[in-house]
A and B are shown apart, each in its own frame.
Chain A
Amino acid sequence: MFQYEKKLQFPVNIKTPNPVYAKIIISQFGGPDGELAASLRYLSQRYAMPYNELKGLLTDIGTEELNHLEMIGAIVFQLTRNLSEAEIKKSGFYDYFVDHTTGIYPVSSSGTPFTAAYIASKGDVISDLHEDLAAEQKARTTYDNILRLVDDPDVREPIKFLRQREIVHYQRFGEGLRLATDRLNSRNFYAFNPSFDVKCNK
């Protein structure tokens, strides 16, 4: 069960709208390594996790990613408030505007709508955790790229927070992978799928 708390995980208070930044940052809402993909990836994979540490980890990190999705939505929302038509034309935001006005839609910066093809849920602990480790690093790189392109400290602060979270999640997933392999035959971790071949667990 999920329950809403009426606050952001980290504050977002942007004073100056900037449609160019909005178009860059929307990628972390609905792009290939965005927060929606992250949340769906972990909350889908958790069912196949045979160990309680990993059930907890995927539930918790998948839930935290929903907080991050909300923060990205807030950033894009605040970056596109009170824009004039002239500003929209001049900034290059018009191609998003024509389809969505200033509504928040899960799409990548280059305009590809969100697709479940961005995520994997393989039903195998080792495969899924490697996917998760890669996903955290890809999201970290995307935040690095956003920080290369964005100067406004009001925008950079929440983006820096989100970037840090990718690193912490990567660390936790690495520990999760170690906890999984600790339970497997050290001569061949890949002899069985511990999510499916129940008897292979020590």
Chain B
Amino acid sequence: MNKRRQKLLTISRVQFAAWELHLYLNTHPNDSAATLRYKELEAEYQRLVAEFEQEFGPLTLPAQGNAWLNDPWPWENTKEGNN
């Protein structure tokens, strides 16, 4: 597995955990332990995305120039796997 894909997977794992807690907090808004854990994961996610974008280009808002248009697009796999 290449480095880009590895980093993307790490982001997805942290993001998924944060998202799962976010959904849970819709119906359990007073769970303070879950709120705290959510905030930790959200901060970790932001950190990982910034790190990733530094090295591999934009994931979210288009950065300067047209790096947004560069391969790979999420639905396209390659031999190494890109998404």
Q: Which of B11, B19, B26, B77 contacts A7 (CB 8 A)?
A: B11
* B12 and A13 contacting across the interface, CB-CB below 8 Å: no
CB-based nearest A residue for B16: A9
A6 touches B77 (CB 8 A): no
Asked if A57 and B83 sit within 8 Å, CB to CB, the answer is no
Would you call A73 and B75 a contact (CB within 8 A)? yes
Expressed in whole angstroms, the Cα–Cα distance for A169 and B27 within the complex equals 11
Residues on A with C-beta less than 8 A from B20 are 168
Report Cα–Cα, A168/B20, bound state, in Å: 9
Q: Which residues of A contact B68 (CB under 8 A)?
A: 6
The reply to whether the CB of A56 lies closer than 8 angstroms to some CB of chain B is yes
Contacting residues, chain B, for A147 (C-beta < 8 A): none
The secondary-structure label for the interface of chain A is helix
Contact A5–B60 (Cβ < 8 Å): yes
Q: Pick the contact of A57: B27, B59, B73 (CB < 8 A).
A: B27
Residue B65 CB within 8 A of the other chain = no
- Are A12 and B23 in contact (CB-based, < 8 A)? no
Give the shortest distance, in Å, between B25 (CB) and chain A (any CB): 8
- Which of A4, A5, A12, A56 has a CB less than 8 Å from the CB of B77? A12
Give every chain B residue within 8 A of A3 (Cβ-Cβ).
60-61
> Which of A4, A70, A172, A179 sits near B24, CB closer than 8 Å?
A172
Which residues A87-120 have CB closer than 8 A to chain B? Answer: none
- A53 in contact with B29 given A7-B74, A9-B16 (CB within 8 Å): yes
Q: Is A175 located at the chain interface by the 8 A CB criterion?
A: yes
* Closest Cβ–Cβ distance, residue A21 to chain B (whole Å): 15
Complex contacts, A64 vs chain B, CB 8 Å: 19, 23
Does any Cβ of B come within 8 Å of A8's Cβ?
yes
User: Is B75 a contact of A11 with CB atoms below 8 Å?
Assistant: no
Contact with A along B1-31 (1 / 0, CB 8 A): 0000100110110001001101110111100
Report whether A6 and B73 are in contact in the complex, using a CB–CB cutoff of 8 Å.
Answer: yes
5 contacts between A and B (CB under 8 A): A6-B59, A12-B77, A14-B77, A78-B77, A175-B27
Q: Which residues of A contact B (CB under 8 A)?
A: 3-15, 53, 56-57, 60-61, 64, 70, 73-74, 77-78, 168-169, 172, 175-176, 179
Interface residues of B (CB under 8 A from A): 5, 8-9, 11-12, 16, 19-20, 22-24, 26-29, 58-61, 68, 73-77, 81-83
